[in-house]
Amino acid sequence: MSEQTAKDLRFDCPAEIIKLAEGDLNQKLAEMGCVPGTQIVKLYSAPSGDPVAFRIDSYVLGLRLSEAEQIVVKTDEELETSI
């Protein structure tokens, strides 16, 4: 099974950031609060679908879909089944 990213999340479905993909955006995303263990929720998108607004802990962050692909997440459903 492939890893789920923030880009793949359904709207209003909470998830937990598991890791950031290796690459140029890794440091930038971490500085914006996208770190493992942090809750992320996909809130809404621009009419064209890109960018997308995410709630990261207690603030809203707009990300391009290409940036959201770098954030590996696990949804609450996946967290419950792994217990």
**Interval 4-27: pLDDT, tens:** 999 999 999 999 999 999 888 899
- Report the pLDDT value the prediction gives residue 77, as an integer from 0 to 100: 65
Residue 38 belongs to a domain with what CATH number?
A: 2.30.30.90
Give the residue ranges of the chain where pLDDT is below 70: 1, 76-83
Domain of 55, in residue numbers: 4-81
Element (H, E) at 36: none
Burial 41-58 (b: 16+ CB within 10 A, else e): bbeeeeeeeebbebebee
- Report the pLDDT value the prediction gives residue 83, as an integer from 0 to 100: 45
Q: How many domains does the chain have?
A: 1
- Report the pLDDT value the prediction gives residue 78, as an integer from 0 to 100: 59
Q: What is the pTM of this model?
A: 0.85
